[in-house]
Structure 1
Amino acid sequence: MPASITTDIERAAAVLRAGGLVAIPTETVYGLAGNAMNEGAVTGIFAAKNRPSFDPLIIHQSSPDRILAYASEVPPDAEALAGAYWPGPLTLVLPKKPAVSDLVSAGLPTVALRVPAHPLTRELLRRLDFPLAAPSANPFGFVSPVTAQHVADQLADKIDLILDGGPCRVGLESTIVGFPDGKATILRKGGLPVEDIESTLGHPVAVQTHSSSKPLAPGMLSRHYSPGVRMTILEKTCTADQLAAMDAVIVFAEKKKPETSDGGTSPVYYDLSPSGDLAEAARQLFPTLRKIGQQQYDQVGVFLLPERGLGRAINDRLRRAAAT
């Protein structure tokens, strides 16, 4: 029987206590949650998503003190970021305690930790005496869900329940920060801008390039977020003929759509934010990729956003969607 959609927190808690899988809302995207201390539940997450076991999971708790209990060491910069941005769209990768299974950490000596900001999920976590492992609630490599219905469309027959918390406020996955050699490093750009992290820490941070083999953190694979259609990154200087070859084009704050050589505007345009609001563009990114996939276009063009703030994370997702 397909998973039902509910707002009943206690029902979700009961399923999780029994080792089942529940899709949960966060401010970033919906996550597919299971008891992080139950290897059967964790194995179920990998199976439901068809996710490779070498890709580590993020574990979630309701407060910084509860989640940092799973770290064996917390550098000063990690403490500063946790104090400034938890609960929120930030994941910290820290040395793990032995209680964290190698299945969760993909055999790495570190674990990814987060305190989500969504009130429904924080209340759920408060009612549980274990943390939740929760990657995005979608088949591996495809577009992340930002509504309960998105989860139902792709995973309803593989999980037990969907907890409906409405549309996600941020719409991009969390920013992941690790501390190799004790230095703060962005392992995945996301819903917390790099500039904010640097401002809080008072110094520049390195930004890790993505890996296609053994990732150091979730979401580092070079190919991801596929809408199931061919996508091409377009330059602002692209020719009219290149534009005319596209069935659809993703743009940002375009006051005037570029014309094709025949004087028309034959592609269908999807503007992530006509007003140029990067936060709106982040919220619209995954729903737009989902719409494009549903239309089954042959060729979709993408104009990247400004490389600042959330634009850097949005461009990261667009590049990896185009790499598939």
Structure 2
Amino acid sequence: MKRETMIIKSEDLVGLKKAAEILKSGGLVAIPTETVYGLGANALDEEATKKIFIAKGRPQDNPLIVHISDTNQLEDLVLEIPEKAYILMEKFWPGPLTLIMKKCEKVPDIITAGLDTVAIRMPNHAIARKIIELANLPIAAPSANISGRPSPTDANHVIEDLKGKVDAIVDGGRTGVGVESTVVDVTEDIPTILRPGGITEEDLLNVFSEVNVDPALKGKNKDIIPKSPGQKYKHYSPNAKMKIINGELHQMINRINKLYQEFTQKGLKVGILATEQSKWSYPCDITIVVGDRKNPSTIASNFFNSLREFDRMNVDIILAEGVEKFGIGKAIMNRMEKAAGFDIENL
């Protein structure tokens, strides 16, 4: 059933108080964060959080991340805070880092997909934290998009996907980081990265001498029991099929141009996801420049928006240049590979 969706500007304090009231009363509010927009509900209210899964069309074995504005809120969420968690919170909170810890009984099983752990982060976004503070509740908030679609990095993306399905959308403009938070499991002796994001493996290795990377990040695994969002299902997908070409830049350019000719001769409309270094190497009318290879954070920031632009262009297939898997490049390629359904050609 369609519902009336209120659009609230982030500078509207009265509107933000209204958003908090909606959350307290069991409603759904899309809120901006520094990573992507999140679809929020009271994390301690099972009926409220069920609405998230319905609005998004999200599988219920895919756990949610709980967002807090103050570390005092952890008391309602976790059994204990490991020493490693304290170290990471001191270093990276507020920020794009989610920690997996043992949950307490107050956390509904629907939040954790029945697991005994819960994913928690404190966003580094003034509006997100203000709304959580006004609601005085921990807020469960996966990305505010239809499940499987490219994550929303602009309020217009949320409106496109969820208007009529949620109670309110807080418009905070474009997000900054552009990819979801890094998820780290701190329940074992060695911290384990379950999802790469804005805090890189290299950042974590500046804190700890050893960090594990979950084997599921190396490819498809249909049998995985996800402890973190983004581990199991096809994610971030545009309407078009997508193919990644990996290699040296000149190799990628040559191969993409060859594939472009092959696909267009078959009558397909082709989009090309290029970078600043290659933008003059392709037909300009169907090329989107996602960012600068010398500054990969620009690629992360623009990636999801670029996929949605290709949707608006109604392309049939997207040919994408891969990026180096270093620093935030690991997060970019994680999202890109999932968006492409792991259709990758290594040169």
TM range (shorter): over 0.9
TM-score with structure 2 setting the length: 0.87
Please say if residues 100 and 184 of structure 2, whose CA atoms lie closer than 8 Å, have aligned partners that are also in contact. Answer: yes
Given the alignment, which residue of 24, 35, 39 partners 1:32?
A: 39
Structure 2 residue aligned with 1:283, among 283, 286, 301? 301
Q: Deviation at 1:198?
A: 1.3
Tell me the residue number matched to 1:319: 337
- CA offsets 1:91-129 (integer angstroms, 9 cap, x no match): 001110111111111000000001011101111111223
Q: 2:261 aligns with which of 240, 244, 258?
A: 244
Give unmatched runs, 5+ long, in structure 2.
Answer: 10-14, 264-269, 343-347
How far 1:184 sits from its partner (Å)?
Answer: 0.4
- 1:72 deviates by 1.1
Aligned to 1:186: 193
Shift of 1:250: 1.1
57-66 vs 47-56, greater mean Cα deviation:
57-66
Secondary structure (helix, strand or coil) at the match of 1:170 reads coil
Q: Which range moved further: 204-213 or 284-293?
A: 204-213
Q: Deviations over 1:43-74 (max 9, x none)?
A: 10110001011000111110223236411122
2:286 aligned with 1:268, yes or no? Answer: yes
Q: CA deviation at 1:6?
A: 0.6
**Structure 1 stretch displaced more, 138-147 or 120-129:** 120-129
For structure 1, which segment, 82-91 or 218-227, has the greater mean C-alpha deviation from structure 2 after superposition? Answer: 218-227
* Structure 2 SS opposite 1:212: coil
Percent of matched pairs sharing the same residue: 35
Determine helix, strand or coil for the equivalent of 1:91. strand
In 2, distance between residues paired with 1:234 and 1:280?
Answer: 19
What secondary structure is seen at the aligned counterpart in 2 of 1:140?
Answer: coil
Verify the 8 A CA contact 2:290 2:302 in the aligned structure 1. Answer: yes
User: More displaced, 226-235 or 131-140?
Assistant: 226-235
Comparing 206-215 with 38-47, greater Cα deviation is found at 206-215
CA contact under 8 A between 2:101 and 2:187: conserved in structure 1? no
- Which amino acid in the other structure matches residue 165 of structure 1? G
Query: 2:234 is matched by which residue type in structure 1?
Result: R
Q: How big is the alpha-carbon RMSD for the aligned residues of Structure 1 and Structure 2? A: 1.9
Decide whether the 8 Å contact of 2:21 with 2:135 is kept in 1. Answer: no
Q: Aligned residue for 1:21?
A: 28
Provide TM-score, normalisation by structure 1: 0.92
State the partner residue of 1:55: 62
Contact 1:244 1:266 in 2 (8 A): no
Q: Which residue of 2 aligns with 1:302?
A: 320
Aligned counterparts, 1:68-79, within 5 A? 69-79=76-86
Match of 1:176 in 2: 183
Alignment check: 8 A CA contact 1:21 1:32 kept? yes
Deviates more, 1:170-179 or 1:205-214: 205-214
What is the Cα deviation at residue 276 of structure 1?
Answer: 2.8
Q: Which moved further from structure 2: 96-105 or 175-184?
A: 175-184
Contact 2:192 2:211 (C-alpha < 8 Å) held by counterparts: no
Q: SS state of the match for residue 49, structure 2?
A: helix
Q: Deviations over 1:216-247 (max 9, x none)?
A: 11111251101110101113335342242351
In the alignment, is the contact (CA less than 8 A) between 1:86 and 1:116 conserved in 2? yes
What is the CA-CA distance between 1:10 and the residue it aligns to? 0.4
Instruction: Please show how residues 139-158 of structure 1 align to structure 2 within 5 Å.
Output: 139-158=146-165
**Mapped contact 1:81–1:201 kept (Cα < 8 A):** no
SS in structure 1 at match of 2:207: helix
Q: Which residue of 1 aligns with 2:137?
A: 130
Q: Between Structure 1 and Structure 2, how many residues are aligned?
A: 319
| Residue aligned with 2:188, SS | helix
Deviates further, 180-189 or 248-257: 248-257
Following the alignment from structure 1 to structure 2, what is the Cα–Cα distance between the partners of residues 252 and 198?
A: 29
Q: Secondary structure at the match of 1:249?
A: strand
Alpha-carbon displacement from aligned partner over 1:269-303 (angstroms, at most 9, x marks no partner)? 22211463111111111110110112121111111
Q: How many Å separate the matches in 2 of 1:305 and 1:318?
A: 10
Moved more, 175-184 or 225-234: 175-184
TM-superposition CA deviations, 1:156-211 (whole Å, max 9, x none): 11000011222111111000001353320000011111111111223343344244
Distance 1:231 1:256, change over 3 A: closer
Partners of 1:298 and 1:258 in 2: CA distance: 20
In the other structure, the counterpart of 1:262 is none
Equivalent residues of 1:21, 1:33 under 8 A apart: yes
